[in-house]
């Protein structure tokens, strides 16, 4: 197994040495046993001028696999250096969905050249897939699958698989269609191998299957593949006609993109489809500054609350010292609840109908957490702040104000953290938007209002 992390530097050094000495045959032999993804990672680390030469050393099939694994910038660089013949050879080796991905990421002049050197049938399929909405199952499917007729025998099925299989992305599952290309069943290669040659496909096919529509969200297709452990998922149109399949490798890409997008939204960053090191400074700035401005402006409400209780703070200045602790604890509790609920929503474990169950659970959790935190804080205030540091302002009554505020803040924070993502989902927004920064700002204001309310009731200030 190729260990990228430990062997990268050594391999890069060896590649550069062999290229300098023009030992191309030896370099080719070194690359052949490697996985395409690892070769792509190595090529991205090498100087740009060496990439085309290294790429041309690879066999056509391996070269196409490496090409798919490269980032769009490297792909564009190679395409610009390809002759028309080389470009056509690479395109002929690519699966349709990979070609569509490349077309979507390339600038117009490169796309025009790619389509010009693509077979007419493939070009037609590319254009059909590009018509589907972005982020739909139709946009990530491939039309390269094996279809069978219900009246075929197992022997006929194997003949068709041998004849058409080399050009298909997968032959592990074949899809049974009728005369109108409606999907009526599927049969695995294992079932075919274990059946008799004269068995009829209709008698051995599986009629209880899962499919998605071309207009379904791509994340639904990806999660269906993950849920059922399929290697491919059939895609049908509005009339249940089989038009393509979504394979597990595309599903993994979708899930990775969705997770990355959620993480960026939860960190208050506008999502980007570019790797961090390949995103320009201005682009990174534009992705971050809108949220920072919004959160900064919303945080001014916290300042206004503190200003409105300025007299109370003057009378009991010691209360000021514990504001950061209360706000941070509330923000942390809200973040815990929101992240847990957002994760549950993304995995389809939590629906809006579960709102009351979620709230009831978070209430019980928050009571336990709040009591433990308040008890620990009360002991710390009396033993450390009052006795050890001999701070006379920290009286048992002041400690009670702080600890009661802590209990209520934890309760409110967890309720806000669990309900906002679910409400956002119900209203059609991405739940990830209601994550840590946004919830922390809300909880900060709530914790201050609770704090000064208890100070007013118990200390008679404000």
Residues paired with residue 235 on neighbouring β-strands, in sequence order = 212, 244
The yes-or-no verdict on residue 292 having pLDDT over 80 is no
Residue 53 has a pLDDT of 86
The yes-or-no verdict on residue 462 having pLDDT over 70 is no
By the 8 A CB rule, do 335 and 440 touch?
A: yes
By the 8 A CB rule, do 31 and 38 touch?
A: no
Main-chain phi, psi angles of 136, to 5 degrees: -95, 165
pLDDT (tens digit per residue) in 144-173: 899 999 999 999 999 999 999 888 888 999
Mean pLDDT, rounded, for 336-351: 84
| Percentage of the chain exceeding pLDDT 90 | 33
Place of tokens 């009360």: 378
Among 29-33, 139-143, 265-269, 382-386, the minimum mean pLDDT is found in 265-269
Distance of CA 381 to the CA centre of its chain: 44
The yes-or-no verdict on residue 339 having pLDDT over 80 is yes
Name the residue among 216, 242, 252, 67 with its Cα closest to residue 143.
242
pLDDT (tens digit per residue) in 363-404: 999 999 999 999 999 999 999 998 888 888 889 999 999 999
Name the residue ranges covered by the structural domains of the chain: 4-140, 147-257, 276-459
* Of the options 3.40.50.620, 3.20.20.70, 3.10.580.10, 3.30.1490.20, the CATH number for the domain spanning 147-257: 3.10.580.10
Give the strand order in the sheet containing 232-236: 212-213, 232-236, 242-247
By the 8 A CB rule, do 316 and 398 touch?
A: yes
* Beta strand 212-213 pairing with 183-188: unpaired
Residue 436 has a pLDDT of 62
pLDDT (tens digit per residue) in 243-272: 999 998 888 888 887 777 776 666 656 666
Residue 1 has a pLDDT of 45
Model pTM?
Answer: 0.66
Residue 84 has a pLDDT of 87
The yes-or-no verdict on residue 4 having pLDDT over 60 is no
CA dist., res. 95 & res. 139, Å (int): 14
The yes-or-no verdict on residue 273 having pLDDT over 70 is no
Residue 10 has a pLDDT of 83
| Percentage of the chain exceeding pLDDT 70 | 94
4-140: CATH architecture: Alpha Horseshoe (1.25)
The yes-or-no verdict on residue 60 having pLDDT over 80 is yes
| Most confident residue range from 13-27, 116-130, 188-202, 215-229 | 188-202
Place of tokens 């080796």: 93
Residue 149 has a pLDDT of 94
* Of the options 1.10.357.20, 1.20.210.10, 3.40.718.10, 3.40.50.620, the CATH number for the domain spanning 276-459: 1.10.357.20
The yes-or-no verdict on residue 315 having pLDDT over 80 is no
Q: Could you tell me the two tokens for 284?
A: 């990174």
Examine domains 147-257 and 276-459 and report if their fold is the same.
Answer: no
């Amino acid at each position: 197994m190729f260990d990228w992390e430990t062997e990268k530097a050594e391999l890069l050094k060896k590649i550069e040495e062999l290229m300098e000495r023009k030992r191309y045959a030896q370099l080719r032999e070194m690359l052949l046993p490697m996985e395409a993804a690892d070769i792509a990672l190595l090529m991205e680390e090498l100087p740009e001028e060496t990439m085309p030469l290294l790429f041309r050393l690879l066999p056509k099939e391996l070269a196409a696999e490496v090409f798919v694994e490269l980032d769009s910038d490297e792909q564009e660089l190679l395409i610009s250096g390809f002759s028309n013949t080389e470009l056509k050879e690479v395109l002929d080796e690519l699966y349709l969905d990979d070609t569509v991905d490349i077309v979507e990421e390339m600038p117009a002049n490169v796309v025009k050249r790619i389509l010009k050197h693509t077979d007419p049938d493939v070009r037609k399929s590319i254009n059909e897939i590009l018509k589907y909405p972005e982020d739909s199952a139709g946009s990530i499917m491939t039309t390269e699958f094996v279809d069978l007729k219900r009246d075929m025998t197992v022997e006929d099925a194997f003949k068709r698989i041998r004849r058409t299989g080399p050009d298909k992305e997968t032959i592990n599952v074949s899809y049974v269609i009728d005369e109108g290309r409606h999907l009526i069943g599927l049969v695995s290669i294992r079932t075919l191998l274990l059946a008799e040659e004269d068995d009829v496909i209709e008698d051995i096919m599986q009629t209880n299957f899962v499919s998605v529509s071309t207009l379904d969200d791509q994340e639904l297709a990806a999660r269906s593949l993950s849920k059922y452990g399929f290697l491919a998922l059939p895609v049908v149109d509005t009339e249940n006609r089989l038009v393509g399949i979504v394979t597990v490798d595309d599903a993994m890409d979708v899930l990775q993109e969705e997770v990355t997008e959620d993480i960026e939204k939860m960190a208050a960053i506008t999502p980007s489809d570019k790797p961090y090191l390949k995103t320009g400074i201005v682009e990174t700035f534009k992705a971050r500054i809108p949220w920072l401005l919004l959160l900064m402006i919303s945080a001014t409400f916290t300042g206004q609350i503190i200003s409105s209780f300025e007299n109370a703070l003057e009378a009991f200045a010691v209360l000021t010292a514990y504001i950061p602790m209360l706000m941070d604890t509330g923000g942390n509790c809200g973040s815990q609840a929101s992240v847990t609920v957002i994760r549950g929503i993304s995995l389809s474990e939590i629906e809006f109908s579960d709102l009351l169950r979620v709230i009831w659970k978070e209430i019980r959790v928050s009571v336990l957490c709040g009591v433990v935190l308040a008890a620990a804080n009360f002991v710390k205030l009396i033993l450390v702040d009052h006795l050890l540091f001999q701070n006379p302002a920290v009286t048992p009554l002041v400690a009670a104000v702080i600890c009661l505020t802590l209990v209520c803040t934890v309760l409110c924070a967890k309720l806000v953290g669990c309900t906002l993502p679910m409400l956002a989902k119900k209203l059609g927004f991405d739940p990830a938007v209601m994550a840590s920064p946004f919830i922390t700002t809300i909880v900060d204001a709530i914790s201050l209002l609770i704090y000064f309310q208890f100070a007013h009731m118990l200390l008679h200030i404000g």
